[in-house]
Amino acid sequence: MVDHLANTEINSQRIAAVENCFGASGQPLAVPGRVLLGEGILTKECRKKPKPRIFFLFNDILVYGSIVINKRKYNSQHIIPLEDVTLETLPDTLHMKNRWMIKTSKKSFVVSAASLTERKEWISHLEECIRHLLSKTGRQPSREHAAPWIPDKATDICMRCTQTKFSTLTRRHHCRKCGFVVCADCSRQRFLMPRLSPKPLRVCSLCYRQLLADEKKEVEAERRRPEPAPGYEPSSGDDSDKSDDDKAEQWPADTEFYTSEVSWSSFHS
């Protein structure tokens, strides 16, 4: 189906329509060989509360954004390369049905579909696109994923010290390593995690100690590695000297965060 649609006018029109909906705030989406396979509204678990988001599945990327006017205007565009995506089906809770997690090296989050059939379609199409891309590039599935942020309402107390109670004056923070909701005292440290950000990020006290220990092990392992035997390069005839020039704990599984009452637009055929 992808090869059939790749160079068709209808595919070009669909991609152009998506670009127009995001307007100047979005990135261009039309590239050679890219095909829009499906679209629909899913409920995304956000930090404050679950919110509907528009999702577009292409053969190489997943795009989603906030809905301003459905079918007409979207913003806050996010683009996720499918090669970096791993999926995990999640069990239903009392008020959260048809859930699954989209995991990537930079960000992981939970979404829910309006029906079980819808979830199956999304997961089936996503997995097929991911398999095709990995076989095409020869890459292995991603094994390192960012932790999803636990919603603020999942807990009223710090998930590390279990002593500090959150209020309007006592803010919630999130550890960028484990995603736990923690207080300021339990998340004073910062640590550089290059795959997430070029700047040091807030981490909880437990993750900070683990990251330091891992860093120390890497340094010690590097010191133990034998130095390569000296090599000799052919003389260039120039006699001048040249200088050389840079999760131990789990939150309750039965916590209910949101329900899904959203419409669905079928995958394009």
Domains of the chain, by residue range, sit at: 3-137, 149-220
Position 241 pLDDT exceeds 90: no
Q: Measured between alpha carbons, how far is 18 from 71 in angstroms, rounded to an integer?
A: 9
pTM of full prediction above 0.85: no
More confident residue, 8 or 77: 77
Categorise residue 142: left if φ over 0, alpha if ψ from -120 to 50, beta otherwise: beta
- The angle formed by the CA atoms of residues 238, 240 and 244, to the nearest 5 degrees, is 110
| Identity of residue 205 | S
Query: Bridge partners of 201?
Result: 191
Helical (H) or strand (E) element with 211: helix 205-224
CA pair distance 140, 249, nearest whole angstrom:
29
Contact 29, 19 (CB under 8 A): yes
**What is 149-220's CATH number?**
3.30.40.10
Look up the CATH architecture of domain 3-137: Roll (2.30)
Residue 116 tokens read as 């079980």
- What pLDDT, on the 0 to 100 scale, is given for residue 260? 40
pLDDT digits (tens, 9 = 90+) for 146-164: 999 999 988 999 999 999 9
8 Å CB contact between 192 and 199: yes
pLDDT at 228 over 90: no
Q: Is the pLDDT of residue 226 over 70?
A: yes
Residue 130 has pLDDT above 50, yes or no: yes
